[in-house]
A and B are shown apart, each in its own frame.
Chain A
Amino acid sequence: MDILCAIDTGVLCGVEQWFTDPAQWTGPAGIPVRLAEHAYYSVVALLVATAIAVPLGLLTGHTGVGGFLTTSLANFARALPTIGVLFLIVLLAGIGLVPVLCALVALAVPPILVNTHEGVRGVEPRLRDAALGMGMRGREVLFRLELPVAAPLVLIGMRTAAVQVVATATIAAYVGVGGLGRYIVDGQARQDLSMMLGGSILVVLLAVATTLLFAGLRRVLVAPGLRAEAASAR
């Protein structure tokens, strides 16, 4: 049964026992519930961030207005320490799910925004010229040309944001919400190394699953012509 414990009686065995304990898989502190909480926070934060950043990026990219501001903001955001942002927002707004979600959204907006903006700006001028010359109006140029061509970069921005949100949602357990980070925080508090490591492994799995999900989304949402073009351009 305990395969790892057969070869190693230390850390790995403890982690295996933690995972194989049936109590771990039920109840409000069980893995399914924690996983669902973590996924819930991440999905909500990502959706809200997307709803803010994609339209804004399309607007700045399409019009060219505010482009410098957008890229500067994104560069600045990249340098921000995530835990600083999270703790500051929670400190100012109070403990609770909403402040945590606000922090997650704040961290997820910049990569999506800058990639959407850059994706639209990156559409070759001759394509825009052809679109206008054929009689497309601004909105048609945006939705029939710029958005589909920018889609790969938008998705990459969303993936970067999603990975960051999953990671930061883990840290959010320090400010009292649920999710997989609870195992790490509670494990630290109880000096339970197996629990900390088990939680870490679950976070890794969720992050990798997120990356795979975006690889799948790319296949669905990006036109085959663009995917192949990117590949042949290599």
Chain B
Amino acid sequence: MNAAWDWAAGVLDWAVANWSYPGEPDRGILPRLLEHMRLSYAPILLGLLVALPLGLACARWKRLYPPVLTGVNVLYAVPSIALFFLMLPYTGFSDWTAIVPLTVYTLVILLPNVVDGLRQVPEHVRQAAVAMGFGPLRRLVFVETPVAVPVIIAGLRVASVATISMVSVASLIGLGGLGRLILSEGFRRQFDAPIVVGIVLTVLLAFVTDAVLVLAQRLLTPWARRDGGVGGGRGIRARRRRRRAAAAVPAEDAAVAADLTTTAGER
């Protein structure tokens, strides 16, 4: 027991001693953490920016969705490490080499959620909106999008956790934020403290980001608070999704993945 405490204290000491170096802006843990945040938040935002219009298009023109989803399904399987290396000839060792593949992953996770969220408006609500004189654009903005928000945020939570943990892989091409701590400071020097610090900070960053998204959802969709958030909708999928959402952090992943296979397989 004492050995474990000593070990943990040693890791903590190392973390405190190496947190940052005044006058050396690129040395220490803090610059790696900031780099990690830059490399993960940029793809999450970019992915969202691409997923929204694409999802709207897929919800509007239904025939577009199956082929797009098949593509998404295939991309989901591609290991990030391979994509990073395949980007090298085009983007070299710039941030884009990490950001572009990670954006693709965010997109892949978010898109089904955006489409499902928009399609989730119950038919009677849609008809009521039409009957009250809402045009297609108004309906999209005032009816369909608010209903979709919880589902989209659920997807965003999965995507953000996945992206934050995946950024580390980019350390193999010399990027990767906390991953560089793990690889260069830790593994190459056969030193465990940087690896542990890297893992812990990655997990913390993921959880903090997740908490921020949960908070954002509560603020954006006060009506959905009681049932854990993932909105109305009927049928098995809606129920499954609510179950997943109830299972705390992004257990949603399973539901997202479920949607991927059923659609790719059966359509």
Contact = CB atoms under 8 A, between A and B. Distances in A.
Interface in A74-126: 74-76, 78-85, 87-88, 90-92, 111, 114-115, 118, 121-122
Contacts of B166: 81
Given A84-B199, A118-B243, A170-B81, A78 B165 contact: yes
B74 interface: yes
Contact of B248 (A71, A121, A155, A207): A71
Contacts of B262: 152, 227, 230-231, 234
Interface in B126-163: 161-162
Contacts of B235: 233
Contact of B251 (A118, A159, A184): A118
Most buried by A among B167, B207, B247, B250: B247
Contacts of A229: 236
A157 interface: yes
Nearest to B164: A79
Contacts of B190: 91
B232 interface: no
Given A84-B202, A87-B187, A171-B172, A78 B78 contact: no
B186 A208 contact: no
B261 A78 contact: no
Q: How large is the interface on A (under 10, 10 to 19, 20 to 34, 35 or more residues)?
A: 35 or more
A156 B258 contact: yes
Contacts of B89: 10-11, 193, 197
B125 interface: no
Interface in B93-152: none
A74 B247 CA distance: 10
B77 A87 contact: no
B257 A233 contact: no
A17 interface: no
Interface stretch (A21-29, A44-52, A135-143, A211-219): A211-219
A152 B86 CA distance: 33
A79 B203 contact: yes
A163 interface: yes
Interface in B160-181: 161-162, 164-169, 171-172, 178-179
Contact of A81 (B179, B207, B243): B179
Contacts of A153: 254, 258
A127 interface: no
Contact of A184 (B81, B192, B266): B81
B183 interface: yes
Given A78-B161, A82-B169, A156 B207 contact: no
Nearest to B237: A233
A88 B254 contact: no
Interface in A180-234: 181, 184, 188, 193, 196-197, 199-201, 203-204, 207-208, 210-211, 214-215, 218-219, 227-231, 233-234
Closest 9 CB pairs of A and B: A167-B79, A81-B168, A79-B206, A75-B249, A200-B82, A231-B266, A84-B199, A211-B77, A87-B187
Interface of A: 10-11, 71-72, 74-76, 78-85, 87-88, 90-92, 111, 114-115, 118, 121-122, 152-153, 155-157, 159-160, 163, 166-167, 170-171, 174-175, 181, 184, 188, 193, 196-197, 199-201, 203-204, 207-208, 210-211, 214-215, 218-219, 227-231, 233-234
27 contacts: A78-B253, A80-B203, A81-B182, A82-B168, A83-B169, A83-B179, A84-B168, A87-B183, A90-B187, A91-B192, A118-B254, A152-B258, A152-B261, A153-B254, A156-B254, A157-B254, A167-B82, A170-B81, A197-B89, A200-B85, A203-B82, A207-B77, A208-B77, A218-B261, A230-B258, A233-B235, A234-B263
